[in-house]
A and B are shown apart, each in its own frame.
Chain A
């Protein structure tokens, strides 16, 4: 079963530091996403990425955040200057197509990176 791989599984960083969360989506998928889940809260959409550009982003995804697909396999989320409230589980997901259409495709999610900002 193809998997979405996220590294690291847990990252601790000091407030104000930059962090890069890494994801390797499924190889033939075209759409990529980042979500986050603050402990005990809802899963929240951050950003979607297609054809090497952001297709949608939420109000959470401000100028501190950026995404990149640097080499055709990795998909990264960068937080420039972390804040305490950025502490959360960050999930990467990929899909072969937008699930807005028909087709029995869900998203495939990675197991997440737990980011702790101290």
Chain B
């Protein structure tokens, strides 16, 4: 399977702390995206990083990409209770693959 793996599977932090989630993938990619899913709801696109980029910022989000290690990380700074959700990486190989997801709980 070329599906990605994310770690940790679950992460619980206090409000105000930073949350870091990692994604590893197995195929060469054109870009990698991060999505958020609130429980039972749809997927919301957060950020896209191209294969020739190493870092990208969007508000409190910071994404890094290391194509030599086939890995990406998503950092959420100054987390809020409303950030509680599952976070998925997704990338295109010969199809569009989703990682297994990290369940983030931010405790108020």
A interface with B by C-beta (< 8 Å): 6, 33, 35, 42-45, 48, 56, 58, 89, 91, 93, 98-102, 104-112, 114
Q: Which residue of B lies closest to A102 (CB)?
A: B50
Query: Which 5 residue pairs are nearest across A and B when measured between Cβ atoms?
Result: A106-B45, A111-B42, A109-B43, A43-B98, A100-B92
Q: What is the size category of the interface that chain B forms with chain A?
A: 20 to 34
* Whole-angstrom CA separation of A33 from B50 in the bound complex: 21
- A91-B42, A109-B43, A111-B41 in contact; A33/B96 too (CB < 8 A)? yes
Please measure, in the bound complex, the distance between the C-alpha atom of A45 and the C-alpha atom of B100, giving whole angstroms. Answer: 13
Q: A45 to B97, Cβ gap below 8 A?
A: yes
15 CB < 8 A contacts A-B: A42-B98, A42-B101, A43-B88, A45-B95, A45-B98, A56-B94, A93-B43, A99-B92, A99-B96, A105-B48, A106-B35, A107-B43, A107-B45, A111-B42, A112-B41
Are the C-beta atoms of B95 and A114 separated by less than 8 Å? no
Closest to B30 in A: A100
**Bound-complex Cα distance A58 to B1 (A):** 12
Is B3 part of the binding interface, using a Cβ–Cβ cutoff of 8 Å?
yes
Contacts of B31 in A (CB 8 A): 99-100, 102
**A68 CB, min distance to chain B CBs, angstroms:** 21
Q: How far is the CB of B49 from chain A (nearest CB, A)?
A: 10
Which of B3, B31, B41 has the most CB atoms of chain A within a 10 A radius of its CB?
Answer: B31
- For residue B59, CB closer than 8 A to chain A, the reply is no
